[in-house]
Chain A
């Protein structure tokens, strides 16, 4: 009898604890597995303190990030309340009904003019210019460069460079200078190369790396209104840009056609390259003595250079959207409103997040918070994005394949660009036909 009583009490205890867990409110945010997600988890503790609502930032490894989110949407999963997704996903997930329309709520609850305009356009608005919002910018990022200050400021290197190229060795401001410096530091016998940048066929690797060169050389993806591509992406300027990007490969380590975030970062911290491109959000590892023994205290940062016909930089980062299948949409909105408050954004920036709030972004405190924040803030006026339309995945796939073929010599630059133009026009024409039929 005594044993039976103990069992009964234990059972009741389990049931009570179980019920207690069910009652506790938890907001689930899904993001990629990287430092900013850790910062967000830490920041969200304040939200829990204020509201009593627990926040769980689920981190998905980058290679499976998109697949995991897409599959959860297809299965109408209630698993995630807030999705922090790429800007390119906006078109597909809003048209697909996976993100809730936040237009009215944002206009009533958020001080939109306080948010950096291009960030709002890139991460929140679809269609662009429509004033319809599906997200709020969470982490605003840009592609930027890290360089070895010890090499750039070495007197012998400086005089040798001056003698060879006729101008002083300094962080490049143009793509022509970037090439010269990359060439100058390429010394395979010393296992040193000039540059590490993105050439990988993985996900959007080469596209994000090359598009800013293409824009800065005077070409573009196409007319955003008419969706005409032929004559935009395959112009003489685009050919020059692709030839330039392929030429740059000569000054990169042997495995460079596989390079994306991880590989460029590894090449830099192992002392293999003088300059490396990456998203600014990946730079905390560069200035950390634990992860970069060679150059954590010898690294400088500069914004992506300008080209002969303009200055554009690939936008990075993600926006915060609310899943249509979430059962906690009101709490999610509460979180979004809390997140956009100035004191929260200040703390977000202090932890290492890249704030979209203009006032915080432009403050000296932010610019001096890390060695790379100043270059990051300077990149803002030049940010541009890939197509953020529902067909973005097909468009991206054509770019990735053809540009990968161009840089490995399978196709000539013009041939690759013409192939992209043709494929993109087919994709848009098919999409417009579908829209017309509907």
Chain B
């Protein structure tokens, strides 16, 4: 039989390779090659839309990026966003998970509904939050807040309508609100998975010992759920560091001015508007190094926590 002849003609190793190679080739073409090619370009003066060959300039692109005060400003903006957004998502997500980690009617439906925001496209989310945060009479949030904002004392402080996306003091908070609305469910999901994996007998034993609710939370819940929480924090930090879509749509390319211009937003401008490809590659590598460093800190801490638990 043809089939048997074919099988007999290949060693185990060859069969293994035949299965692995398509994936390997795809991985090399789609991931490894662009990674190496962009590393090569980061040391060259190169504009992808110009007919000039890349010209080697050593570390100039890296020096330019690292000595540009504007770019440091974008890094500061990004760090500010990451700290605010990830903290808010952690607190809200974990809080929701604690609330959901009990039996009540329609728990499945409530959980599914809470998960919906993270299933939407960030661009769609940003587009409809544009309407919610509009500062004129069409803005839903200002409309809902108007009874509160029009109270005499509060009116003097906030001077409504609140200009959610155009006031330099508030614009970043708006981006954080939208990102938190979208990604708190992710934090909730991971935390919920961790909470439901905690053995019930630990709580029963604590109940026998008449332990307080705080004691149970501090010495049972938190230590056992923290490895998963750290993983969620790691994912969210990495993702928040790359924030692009929401600022592109919601605050019109990082406005007002550069108040919400994150590193990724600026990277996009550098790479696809200005076509300063070499410098953009250098900046992307700096961003990559920062994310890898941050991830390592998390992973180290995660290993420590795992060891302790």
> Which residues does A use to contact B, with CB under 8 Å?
66-67, 70-71, 73-74, 92, 95-98, 191, 200-203, 205, 253-258, 260, 272, 390, 393-394, 397, 400-402, 404-405, 407-411, 434, 438
Please give, as numbers and ranges, the residues of chain A lying within 8 Å of B274 by CB-CB distance: 393-394, 397
CB of B257 within 8 A of CB of A401, answer yes
The distance from the CB of B53 to the nearest CB of chain A, in whole angstroms, is: 11
B residues within 8 A CB of A201?
251-257
Q: B132-140, B215-223, B285-293: which one contacts chain A? A: B132-140
Beyond A255-B135, A258-B165, 19 additional contacts (C-beta under 8 Å) are A66-B273, A71-B272, A96-B50, A191-B137, A201-B251, A201-B253, A201-B254, A201-B255, A254-B166, A255-B136, A255-B163, A255-B165, A257-B166, A258-B166, A401-B257, A407-B256, A408-B167, A408-B255, A410-B259
The smallest C-beta distance from B277 to any residue of chain A, in angstroms, reads 9
Assembled-state Cα–Cα distance A356/B191 (Å)? 63
Tell me if B's interface is mostly helix, strand, loop or mixed: loop
Instruction: Give which listed residue, A66, A74, A404, A409, contacts B255 with CB less than 8 A.
Output: A404
Identify the closest chain A residue to B269 (Cβ).
A397
CB–CB A67/B51 < 8 A:
no
Distance of A256 Cα from B161 Cα, bound (Å): 13
Whether B275 lies near A408 (C-beta < 8 A) is: no
Task: Give the CA-CA distance A97 to B48 in the complex, in Å.
Answer: 12
Determine the chain B residues whose CB is within 8 A of the CB of A95 once the complex forms.
50
Q: Complex Cα distance A26/B46, Å?
A: 35
Q: Is the CB of B49 within 8 A of A408?
A: no
Distance (Å) between the CB of A255 and the closest chain B CB?
5
Contacts of A256 in B (CB 8 A): 166
Q: Does B117 make an interface contact (CB < 8 A)?
A: no
* A410–B167 alpha-carbon span in the complex (Å): 10
Q: Are B257 and A253 in contact (CB under 8 A)?
A: no
Are B137 and A404 in contact (CB-based, < 8 A)? no
Query: Is B258 interfacial (CB 8 A cutoff)?
Result: yes
Interchain nearest-CB distance for B115 vs A (Å): 29
Q: Which of B49, B52, B256 contacts A405 (CB 8 A)?
A: B256
Residues of A within 8 A of B163 (CB): 254-255, 257
* Cα separation A405 to B254 with both chains bound (whole Å): 11
Closest Cβ of chain B to A274, distance in Å, is 15
Most chain A beta-carbon neighbours within 10 Å: one of B135, B256, B257, B274: B257
Chain B residues near A409 (CB, 8 Å)?
168
Which of A66, A70, A205, A254 meets B135, CB within 8 Å? A254
In whole angstroms, how far apart are the Cα atoms of A401 and B49 in the complex? 23
A200 touches B252 (CB 8 A): yes
In the complex, which residues 34-82 of chain B have their Cβ closer than 8 Å to any Cβ of chain A? 45, 48-52
Q: Chain B contacts of A71 at CB under 8 A?
A: 272
B216 to chain A, nearest CB (A): 49
Report yes or no: A98 in contact with B161, Cβ–Cβ below 8 A: no
Do B48 and A408 touch across chains, with their CB atoms under 8 A apart? no
Is there contact, CB below 8 Å, between A393 and B256?
A: no
- Measured between beta carbons, the chain B residues less than 8 angstroms from A97 are 51
Among B160-190, those with CB < 8 Å from A are 161, 163, 165-168
Taking Cβ atoms with an 8 Å cutoff, the residues of B that contact A are: 45, 48-52, 134-137, 139, 161, 163, 165-168, 251-259, 261, 269, 272-276
| CB neighbours of A92 from chain B (8 A) | 49, 275
Question: How far does the alpha carbon of A409 sit from the alpha carbon of B257 in the complex, in Å?
Answer: 9
Specify which chain A residues have a CB less than 8 angstroms from the CB of B273 in the assembled complex. Answer: 66, 393, 397
| A96-B168 contact in complex given A397-B273, A404-B255, C-beta closer than 8 Å | no
Contacts of A253 in B (CB 8 A): 136
Distance to closest chain B CB from A313 (angstroms): 24
CA A411 to CA B48, docked complex, whole Å? 34
Q: Please state if A404 and B272 are interface contacts (CB–CB under 8 Å).
A: no
A/B pair count, beta carbons within 8 Å: 92
Chain A to chain B contacts (Cβ below 8 Å), 26 pairs: A74-B48, A74-B49, A74-B275, A92-B49, A92-B275, A95-B50, A97-B51, A98-B49, A201-B251, A202-B255, A254-B163, A254-B166, A255-B134, A255-B135, A255-B163, A255-B166, A257-B163, A272-B136, A393-B273, A394-B274, A401-B257, A404-B255, A405-B256, A408-B256, A409-B168, A434-B45
Q: Which residue on chain B has the smallest CB distance to residue A270?
A: B138
A408 touches B269 (CB 8 A): no
Task: State how many angstroms separate the Cβ of A323 from the closest Cβ of chain B.
Answer: 13
Cβ–Cβ < 8 Å partners of B255 in chain A: 200-202, 257-258, 404, 408
Inter-chain CA distance A407–B137, complex, in Å, is 22
Q: Which residues of A lie under 8 Å from residue B269 when comparing CB positions?
A: 397
A-chain residues with CB within 8 Å of residue B251 when the two chains form the complex: 201
Between B45, B51, B167, B255, the greatest number of chain A beta carbons within 10 A of the residue's beta carbon is seen for B255
4 smallest beta-carbon distances between A and B, as pairs: A405-B257, A201-B255, A257-B166, A408-B256
Contacts of B134 in A (CB 8 A): 255
Q: How far is the CA of A255 from the CA of B135 in the complex (A)?
A: 5
Among B168, B251, B252, which residue has the most Cβ atoms of chain A within 10 A? B252
Which of A92, A191, A254 has the most chain B CB atoms closer than 10 A to its own CB? A254
| Distance between B273 CB and nearest chain A CB, rounded to angstroms | 5
Q: Is the CB of A404 within 8 A of B49?
A: no
The complex places the Cα of A410 from the Cα of B52 at a distance, in Å, of 39
CA A393 – CA B50 in complex, angstroms? 14
| Distance to closest chain A CB from B289 (angstroms) | 25
* Distance A410 CA – B77 CA, assembled complex (angstroms): 15
Shortest Cβ gap from B242 to chain A (Å): 18
**Judging by beta carbons under 8 Å apart, are B51 and A96 in contact?**
yes
Q: In whole angstroms, how far apart are the Cα atoms of A253 and B269 in the complex? A: 29
Question: Once bound together, how far apart are the Cα atoms of A92 and B29, in whole Å?
Answer: 30
**Distance (whole angstroms) from the CB of A162 to the closest CB of chain B:** 30
Task: Write out the residue numbers on chain B whose beta carbons fall within 8 Å of the beta carbon of A408.
Answer: 166-168, 255-257
Bound-state CA distance A205–B256 (Å) is 12
Q: Identify the closest chain A residue to B164 (Cβ).
A: A255
Chain B residues near A258: list those with CB within 8 A: 165-166, 252, 255
Tell me how far the C-beta of B189 lies from the nearest C-beta in chain A, rounded to whole angstroms.
32
A404 contacts B256, C-beta separation under 8 Å: yes
B165 cross-chain contacts in A, Cβ below 8 A = 255, 258
Q: How far is the CA of A70 from the CA of B51 in the complex (A)?
A: 13
Q: How far is the CA of A405 from the CA of B73 in the complex (A)?
A: 14
Residues of B within 8 A of A67 (CB): 272
| Chain B residue with Cβ nearest A70 | B49
A378 to B261, CA, bound (A): 40
What CA separation (Å) do A272 and B137 show in the bound complex? 10
Minimal Cβ-Cβ distance residue in B for A257: B166
Q: Taking the nearest CB of chain B, how far is it from the CB of A122, in angstroms?
A: 21
Question: Across the two chains, which residue of chain A brings its CB closest to B266?
Answer: A397
Question: How many Å from the CB of A42 to the closest CB on chain B?
Answer: 30
Q: Name which of A96, A203, A438 has the most chain B CB atoms within 10 A of its CB.
A: A96
Q: Please give me the residue from chain A that is nearest to B259 by CB atom.
A: A410
Q: Are A73 and B49 in contact (CB under 8 A)?
A: yes
Q: B50 to nearest A CB, angstroms?
A: 5
